[in-house]
Each structure stands twice: as C-alpha cells, then as structure tokens.
C-alpha cells in the first residue's frame, strides 16, 4: 500500500513494503527519486536492517549458532504497518515474525519515521529490543536519485560535494566484503565529478566525508543534499559496468562483513548492542532543492 506525504514543496510516496520511498516529486513536477528500472536496479530507496551489506557466505553467528541472511537484511522484503499518518508524517513499523526469528534470533520492533518539512524529508530509524537479552544490529539507507535531474543535462554534468577529507574502505574483488584496508579518496576542493566508471568496482564506501553529500550540477537548478550526522559511512553506488542514470547515496551505521570471516554479531565492529527493553534512534535527512 502506498502512503503519500505532501506539502507545498514536495510529494513523497512511500510503500508499506519495506517502508521504501517510491517517488519524490517537486511542485514543478521534478522527479528526484530513481524510478526502479529493473534493467539497472529494481529498488528505489531501500532501508537496511538488521545488517548493512554482504555477509560472508550469507552467514553469521550468535552465541555460536550459525544463521543465514541475505544482503542488507530483511526489512526491505517485509510488510510494515503505517501508523500516525498525517499529511506530512507517517511511521512505518514492523515486528519480529517466525520468518525473521529463523534468520535473526531477536524479538524487536523496527520503525521508519518520515516527516516532511519544507523541502526536506526527515527520516528516523527507531529500534526497540522487546526480548530478554542484548540484540545486535546495523541500520542504513540506500536511496537512489535520478541523474540527470533536469532535461538537457547529462550524467557527467553532475558532481558530489563533500565537507572534509575522506578515506575509502576497500572491497574484495571476489566477495565484495571488506578487506580491512582504507586509502585516501582525493577530491578536488571537496568535489567528486560523476562518471559511470567510478562504480565499476562496486560501491565506493567513504568515511570522514563530513557526514553530508550534495548532488548537483553547475548547469542546472535542481540538487539533493543528504545529511547523516549519526552514521559514519557513506556508500556511493550505481550498477557496475553500466550507464545507469542514477546514483545511490547510502548512509551506513556499520560496514559489511570482513572478507573470509563469518562474523559473530557479538564482536563484529560497528554493530549496535541494544540491551533488553532499550530503544535506539538514528536520524538523517534529504533536502530536495
């Protein structure tokens, strides 16, 4: 089911399946969000929970027991309940089920809270541990944005602007899990011009990029700014070896598994350790200019 938020600046359509945005439309008709063409990438703005990225052999352990889970967790495949819906706000909530418990042995309530204010969509991930023990998880976003945003412009007319220097975490060429290595990722005056072959080695995972990224063109009037103050990593991605007309700006709390390591969630770096009965929140936003 599609829930629509609207004000005088933006219309945002959100599917209860995965609490995933389906469209963001400006008052002038500008379509900001990627349209989900399966020839390139069939999703549009995936929410990631309870893990970010790939697991070695799609497996991990808790308490020494092995579990199987696919890339980016299972929230994206789950139906959520829309609550507290107004013209500019909706909370999408899901709880553990027998299917989730088979692959993730923790009772929980997970919410994705959207609030529209002016030209900015505010998003909050809310997790409550409803079990008796400590639970371990990661969260993140995976929104894709159209490039170009305006007619008459090309993909290469766009750039990403960051605040601060950044380092790139390297991925294995075979498993696309983490090698553990980082390298400087230089940008001229904080600007990264876009070109399709940037993504031929899969995602560019940056740390220390200022926790803000702006997608823009000097030749255009439309731009998108993503701010993620509580998430230390930003993934940049489109389908490798393609001319895909979009770019994903992905704020991540944690990283994929390490290459060759079936992670124990108790010790995997970056995961939240949430004690029984406690709550966790992580807020980020997208400004559509």
Place of tokens 């993909």: 155
> What CATH number did the domain enclosing 67 receive?
2.70.98.10
Tokens of 72: 């980016």
Q: How far, CA to CA in Å, does 115 sit from each of 10, 18, 111? A: 12, 17, 13
Residues 72-109: pLDDT tens digits? 999 999 999 999 999 999 999 999 999 999 999 999 99
Tokens of 189: 């005056």
Q: What distance in Å separates the CA atoms of residue 54 and residue 70, rounded to the nearest whole number?
A: 7
> Is residue 59 predicted with pLDDT exceeding 80?
yes
Contact 216, 161 (CB under 8 A): yes
Quote the distance between the C-alpha of residue 25 and its chain's center: 20
Which structural domain range is residue 250 located in?
2-288
Place of tokens 């899901």: 94
Q: What is the pTM of this model?
A: 0.96
Q: How far, CA to CA in Å, does 171 sit from each of 109, 130, 232? A: 32, 35, 17
Q: What is the DSSP string of 11-39?
A: EEEEETBTTEEEEEEETT--B-B----TT
- Report the domain count for the chain: 1
Range name among 47-56, 84-93, 104-113, 207-216 with the lowest pLDDT average: 207-216
Place of tokens 């949430």: 274
């Amino acid at each position: 089911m599609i829930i629509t938020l609207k004000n005088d600046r933006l219309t945002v359509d959100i599917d209860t399946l995965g609490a995933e945005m389906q469209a963001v439309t400006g008052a002038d008709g500008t379509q900001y969000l990627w349209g989900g063409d399966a020839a390139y990438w069939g999703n549009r703005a995936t929410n990631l929970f309870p893990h970010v990225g790939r697991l070695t052999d799609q497996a991990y352990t808790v308490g020494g027991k092995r579990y199987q889970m696919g890339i980016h967790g299972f929230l994206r495949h789950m139906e959520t309940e829309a609550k507290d819906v107004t013209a500019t706000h909706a909370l999408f909530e899901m709880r553990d089920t027998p299917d989730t418990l088979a692959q993730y042995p923790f009772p929980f309530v997970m919410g994705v809270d959207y609030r529209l204010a002016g030209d900015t969509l505010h998003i909050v991930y809310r997790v409550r541990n409803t079990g008796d023990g400590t639970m371990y998880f990661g969260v993140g976003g995976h929104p894709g944005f159209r490039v170009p945003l305006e007619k008459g412009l090309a993909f290469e007319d766009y750039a990403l602007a960051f605040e601060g220097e950044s380092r790139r975490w390297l991925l294995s060429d075979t498993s696309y899990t983490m090698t553990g290595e980082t390298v400087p990722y230089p940008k001229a005056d904080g600007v990264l011009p876009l070109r399709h072959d940037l993504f031929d080695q899969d995602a560019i995972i940056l740390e220390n990029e200022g926790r803000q990224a702006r997608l823009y063109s000097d030749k255009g009037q439309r731009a998108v700014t993503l701010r993620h103050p509580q998430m230390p990593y930003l993934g940049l991605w489109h389908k490798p070896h393609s001319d895909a007309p979009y770019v994903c700006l992905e704020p991540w709390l944690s990283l994929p598994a390490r290459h060759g390591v079936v992670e124990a969630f108790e010790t995997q770096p970056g995961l939240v350790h949430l004690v029984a009965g406690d709550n966790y929140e992580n807020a980020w936003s997208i400004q559509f200019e």
